[in-house]
Amino acid sequence: MAIKRCIWKRWGLDLVSGGPPCQSFSMAGKREQNSDKNALPWEFAKFVGHVQPKLVLLENVTGILRAFKDAEGKSFHAWYEVAKVFASIGYIPLCLHVNARMAGVPQNRPRFIMIGVRNDHFKIIEPNFNEADVQLFAPSLEFYNLVKKYGAELPFGKLGYFDATKSKDLSKFENSFLHNLVGNTEVSVKEALNDLKFFNKAKPSKYVTKLNSTFDNLKTKTEIKNHELRRNSPLVKRRFRLYQVLQLIGHRHINKAVFEVLKGNTTKLEDDVWAALKCYEFLHENGELDKFDSKTEFQNYLLAHPTKKQTQKALVVDSPAPAALSIPDDACHYDENELRVLTVREMARIQSFPDSFVFRSKITTGGQMRKFEVPQYTQVGNAVPPLLGLALGNTIKNLLTKS
């Protein structure tokens, strides 16, 4: 123990990384400013203040970038206040908006990232910065000095964040220590899932092969686990086919018109909506895919498949998956022969978990039990995608090696 204490004292801790739970910041949540859950980033900062690592990495949903409104209608910018807290304890904060799909994850998953560099360590690595590094940290350094001068009273607007999804900022990512976070070829759900289909299964794509070889050091053939089918009734399967067609058309007006019938708000479709839908095959009660002969027949079909759900969609075969993908009801498969929700393993593939990673506990749960249990679908959906984690790890490594 004495030796360990000497090493700690001499060399210090390189990194503290954390992702304080994000329910109150998520755009899918209640977004309550005074929620106890909002205090966790500040608790994280308190811990960092105790252990004083050279670098700190904070990850959260991009909802943290959207301002809250207090009772008086004033805006509260959580990410900005968090950056101020880290600056106040001696860290120069670099705030980023990134997307996991740019790190090779087959999901459109935007995240907020804050990298904080301890001031004394910053002075060591700064001489080794290239031009892009300097451009990234210049606003942060100015912000740090302002916080030292004005403290908590510093008003909003003295620091911005760099957005990897915007062309004006992308070059700074590409040419700096952040380059691992961008530049990867976009991966579609077809590339992620086609070998997991139960009908017309394909060979594993380059993405799947690379994913498994990246994280499986043993390079052994992995038995596919967590790939159990969930039961869907014939009616639900017919509705899934409808969702697939709506995604193929990809028109908001058509989508809204169909859901107005499904929700029981109307019984009629406009002629232009029917014109867009009539050329597609739908699943009939006999289990066959076929077109409808008339608008009236199709309207009756919609009325026979009512639903109040509006969030469930089919995946788009040649695109990454959407961000909201954490429970079975979030999405159904893209293949007309796979009219079902995704399995845990398929969700995990989209999140970039290797096949060797096994999820345990219940597959799913609901109601009040969600407060106490973390089922497999939730484990996948709430995780940081491993490929994004790898890219962030290499980013931190790039920064540490500058010393």
Find the distance separating the first CA and the last CA of the chain, reported in whole Å.
27
Task: Report the run of H or E that residue 207 belongs to, with start and end.
Answer: helix 206-215
For every residue of 130-192, DSSP letters joined together read -HHHHHHHHHHHHHHHHHHHHGGGPPTTS---EETTSHHHHHHHHTSTTGGGS-PPP--HHHH
For every residue of 87-107, DSSP letters joined together read HHTTEEEEEEEEEGGGGT-SB
Distance CA 363, CA 356 (A): 17
Which among 165, 158, 67, 53 has a CA at the least distance from the CA of 113? Answer: 165
Assess contact for 39 and 46: CB atoms under 8 A. no
Among residues 6, 22, 279, 332, which one is catalytic?
22
Assess contact for 151 and 108: CB atoms under 8 A. no
Is 279 a residue of the active site?
A: no
> Between the CA of residue 184 and those of 101, 173, 194, 205, 343, what are the distances in Å?
8, 12, 20, 16, 26
Contacts of 33 (CB under 8 A, 6+ apart): 68, 69, 70, 76
Q: Which residue has the tokens 């004495």?
A: 2
Q: Which two tokens stand for residue 271?
A: 């002629």
Which among 271, 207, 273 has a CA at the least distance from the CA of 245? Answer: 273
Strand order in the sheet with 55-61: 15-18, 55-61, 110-118, 91-99, 162-163
Catalytically active residues, by annotation = 22
